[in-house]
């Protein structure tokens, strides 16, 4: 059976490349490093750290040390560090010790 000239390919097994991950986190809209608290739908509290410079690998290393300093779990999602629980003061002190100048957003 011959292929129609207007038909589209529905499946391919090769030649495509996976997209390369971005090397740096997207910049914060207002600039600077921000620490804020967020309450999730399941009534959990999460500390968010946004606006950190660096690659995904550097953010993962920073998160690992920050989790250890706060004694909490966490993850990196889209360049934002998420810590389980309210760790605003500990995160602020940790980042200040590393030479970063975070701003804590209250309320």
CATH number at residue 40: 3.30.780.10
Residue 81 resides in a domain: yes
Residue 1 resides in a domain: no
Residue 11 resides in a domain: no
Residue 62 resides in a domain: yes
Query: What is the C-alpha separation between 90 and 69, in angstroms, rounded?
Result: 8
Residue 85 resides in a domain: yes
106 pLDDT higher than 80: no
Q: How confident is the model at residue 29 (pLDDT cuts 50, 70, 90)?
A: very low
**Six-digit token pair at 83?**
């810590």
Burial pattern 33-66, b for ≥16 Cβ within 10 A else e, equals bbbebeeeeeeeebbbbbbbeeeeeebeebbeeb
Q: For the chain, what is the domain count? A: 1
Mean pLDDT of the chain: 81
Contact 104, 36 (CB under 8 A): yes
Residue 26 resides in a domain: no
| Domain span including residue 72 | 33-104
The stretch 51-72 carries a mean pLDDT of 92
Contact 94, 81 (CB under 8 A): no
């Amino acid at each position: 059976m011959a292929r129609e000239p207007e038909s589209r390919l529905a499946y391919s097994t090769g030649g495509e490349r996976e997209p390369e991950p971005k090397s740096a986190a997207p910049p914060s809209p207002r600039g600077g490093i921000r620490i804020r608290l967020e309450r999730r739908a399941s009534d959990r509290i999460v500390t968010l750290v946004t606006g950190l410079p660096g690659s995904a690998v550097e953010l993962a290393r920073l998160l690992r040390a920050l989790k250890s300093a706060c004694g909490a779990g966490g993850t990196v999602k889209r360049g934002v560090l998420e810590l389980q629980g309210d760790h605003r003061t500990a995160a602020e002190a940790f980042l200040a010790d590393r030479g970063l100048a975070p701003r804590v957003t209250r309320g």
